[in-house]
Structure 1
Amino acid sequence: MSRLASLPRTQSGPGGAEFTVRHVRGGDKTYTCPGCNQTIPVGTPHVVAWSNESLFGPERGLEERRHWHTSCWERRLW
Structure 2
Amino acid sequence: MSPSRRPRRRDAEPEPLDVERILGGMRRTETRRDGTWNVQSQSAASAVKEYTCPGCGLVIPVGTAHVVTWRADGLFGEEDDLAARRHWHTHCWRIRT
- Shorter-chain TM-score range: 0.7 to 0.9
Distance 2:43 2:57 in 1: 20
Residue 16 of structure 1 deviates from its aligned partner by 3.1
Gaps of at least 5 residues in structure 2 are 1-20
Distance 2:49 2:24 in 1: 21
Aligned to 1:3: 22
Find the structure with the greater CA-based Rg: 2
Residue 3 of structure 1 deviates from its aligned partner by 1.9
Calculate the aligned-residue CA RMSD, in Å. Answer: 1.8
Tell whether 2:31 aligns with 1:12. yes
- Pairing 1:1-78 to 2, within 5 Å after superposition: 3=22, 6-13=25-32, 15-26=33-44, 27-76=47-96, 78=97
Amino acid at match of 1:68: W
Runs of 4+ in 1 over 4 A off after TM superposition: none
Identity across matched positions, percent? 45
Amino acid at match of 2:90: T
Gaps of at least 5 residues in structure 1 are none
